[in-house]
Amino acid sequence: MNSALTRARTLLFVPADRPDRFTKAAESGAGAVILDLEDAVAPERKEEARRHAAAWLSSNGHALLRVNGPGTPWYEADVAMAARSGTPVVVPKAEDPAALSELGDRLGPSVVIVALVETALGVERAFDVCSSPGVVRAALGNVDLAGELGVSPDDHAALAYARSRLVCAAAAAGLAPPVDGVTTAVRDETALTADLAHARRLGFAGKLCIHPAQVAQSEKAFAPTEEELRWAREVTAAREGVSVVNGKMVDKPVLERARRMLASP
């Protein structure tokens, strides 16, 4: 699951109290499904949602589990269930490396954590969060972050700093490129297209989706285009050292980028 998660281009949320949607989510073509115990579930349905998630995972259903955050009344039970099932965990409002380290200890040696950075403190501590034991990927929680900052979650300029900081932090920590936040306009293809192009330009390599209708477009957006693959083949065919391909210098960093592009699934 670790390697698949680091390559995943789409992570699709599904409310954990809606087991009728689990199969549809699993068949959506998303790189991974996240059973959401947190924001998508009302307080009075938390325990029911946890039971549904446990039943799905125990019946060989594959998914990540977004737990409720540390300090909430449901965190301990969520983590205990995740530890029993051995499922990867999405940590909301990831901002405290000590809490992430403690969670990693509780989940065991095969722990896989996705750190959802969605607070101003999380953004400022992004490198420490990405470097925490067990964290294999980071994702941006644009809606919560925008709420804290007092801006719109779909404002590219307002969240450009946070996005760039997360991309740099993930690279510095040796992680795969992070996953961008959600597009709240579920059926607006124009908005989704703009969000995907912006995220890819900044260095993201995946998208959090909130509806199956967003999956196919998001998968395509983060896959190399035919033009990019042609460029990568031309670059890798060039001799080692410094050379020129189509009038542009090619050296080791460019060659490595081309090789990564050709190796992407």
Nearest to 7 by CA among 172, 159, 206, 247: 206
Domains and CATH numbers, the chain: 2-223 (3.20.20.60), 224-265 (no CATH)
Residue 258: pLDDT above 90?
no
Read off the pLDDT band of 239 (50, 70, 90). low
CA atoms within 13 A on the CB side of 137: 30
Q: What is the per-residue pLDDT across 26-58, written as a single tens digit (0 to 9) for each?
A: 999 999 999 999 999 999 999 999 999 999 999
| % of the chain with per-residue pLDDT over 90 | 79
Residue 96 annotated as lining a ligand binding site = no
Q: What is the DSSP string of 213-236?
A: GGHHHHHHHHSPPHHHHHHHHHHH
DSSP 252: H
Residue 1 · residue 7 · CB < 8 Å: no
Q: What is the per-residue pLDDT across 64-120, written as a single tens digit (0 to 9) for each?
A: 999 999 999 999 999 999 999 999 999 999 999 999 999 999 998 888 999 999 999
Residue 184 · residue 210 · CB < 8 Å: yes
CA atoms within 13 A on the CB side of 62: 12
Residue 34 · residue 90 · CB < 8 Å: yes
Residue 118 annotated as lining a ligand binding site = yes
The region of weakest confidence among 32-46, 142-156, 195-209, 232-246 is 232-246
Nearest to 107 by CA among 91, 92, 118: 91
Residue 213 · residue 185 · CB < 8 Å: no
More confident residue, 225 or 145: 145
Q: What is the per-residue pLDDT across 162-213, written as a single tens digit (0 to 9) for each?
A: 999 999 999 999 999 999 999 999 989 999 999 999 999 999 999 999 999 9
Distance of CA 154 to the CA centre of its chain: 17
Residue 230: pLDDT above 90?
no
Report which residue type is found at 158.
Answer: A
pTM summary value: 0.87
